[in-house]
Amino acid sequence: MTFPSFPKHPFIMSRSKTLLLSVLLLSALVATFTLPSHAQKASSPFSGQAAYSLTRQLLEVAPKRFNGSPGHAKAEEFLKQHFAPEAAKGNFIADTFTATTPAGLQTMTNYIVKYPGKKDGIIVLASHYETNYPLRDIEFYGANDGAATSALLIEIGTILRTHPPEGYSIWLVFDDGEEAVKSWGPSDSLYGTRHLAAKWANDGTLGKIKALLVADMIADKDLNIDYVGNSTPWLLDLLKVAAKNTGHSTSIYKYREEEEDDHLPFARRGVPVLDVIDAHYGPITDAAPDGYHHTDQDTLDKISAHSLQISGDLFLEMVRLINQRP
């Protein structure tokens, strides 16, 4: 900052110059010592509009993505195309396994995308990408339930590609077989994450995970992320901080409940987990007791770029806050 020249004898300065000097000095002090407040929402590197466009593209390519369908294979190809740069570095992993289901043996594949960091440890961000197998005969597209959260992770990957993690490594997990094949139960659900949690327990990966965050149904136009009681308490507290820091406090914790979701296989093995989900999706009626969830109404017009922006902001802020923990 350049200051105007003043007389050598400050005591004989004019009143106007004394006032000008005071103003300039005050401005310099403010500029020097005032840091941006996280409570004031800064420009986010995450683009909700880009995530929304990716959701639309995935739905166009693979509207139905139930296991064994042509759409499922197209969804896998969609992921492979978007992560070709990571695959070229050996950081895009296909974890294929055979699951025993009520419909017989089924081949499923989790995809793991790795972004190496500078600290020893891993933050995992996960979402399932397939659609509900029992609903394969209706027009169930899963815009919010699988497509939008897959798009959210892809957009986060785009950011990490050009801005690699400075803290812990970040792994994106696109897990398969979250949905039940016949009816939800302990042995008929969460196939992909049950397999992956067991695999990582055996190879030592599990002990390196600092936190695992699951994204599920968080593009709802009327977004309000639940307080999921079977998540890890300190991560639930941290999400509240993240919401405050990003200006999204009104978009979380209207409802409190427990959820059976992809976080559970890891929680049971001692991994700190957070299920980031808005389970209250659409109006509740006698005909639709779960709103739009698992109906043909789970379509692109029920979600929004704005809600994806909120969710993306929260995930990136959670990563920042987790990295700050001792």
Its domain, for residue 197, covers 44-324
- Banded model confidence at residue 100, pLDDT cuts 50, 70, 90: very high
Q: What pLDDT score was predicted for residue 5?
A: 35
Q: Give the mean pLDDT of 215-220.
A: 98
Quick check: is 32 in a domain? Answer: no
Quick check: is 23 in a domain? Answer: no
Quick check: is 145 in a domain? Answer: yes
Q: Give the mean pLDDT of 308-314.
A: 98
The CATH number covering residue 175 comes to 3.40.630.10
Quick check: is 252 in a domain? Answer: yes
Average the pLDDT over each of 9-13, 22-26, 255-259, 267-271 and give the range with the smallest value. 9-13
Domain count, the chain: 1
Q: Give the mean pLDDT of 235-252.
A: 98
Quick check: is 283 in a domain? Answer: yes
Q: What is the mean pLDDT of the chain?
A: 90
Collapse the DSSP code of 232 into the 3-class scheme (helix H, G, I; strand E, B; otherwise coil) and give the result: coil
Quick check: is 247 in a domain? Answer: yes
d(CA 53, CA 61): 12
Q: What pLDDT score was predicted for residue 42?
A: 57
Q: Give the mean pLDDT of 11-35.
A: 38
Taken in order 175, 236, 115, 209, the sign of the CA dihedral is negative
CB 102 within 8 A of CB 188: yes
Q: What pLDDT score was predicted for residue 211?
A: 98
Relative orientation angle of helices 305-324 and 148-162, to the nearest 10 degrees? 50
Average the pLDDT over each of 7-16, 209-218, 300-309 and give the range with the smallest value. 7-16
In the block, which residue shows the tokens 């106007």? 16
Share of the chain above pLDDT 70, in %: 87
Quick check: is 22 in a domain? Answer: no
Quick check: is 297 in a domain? Answer: yes
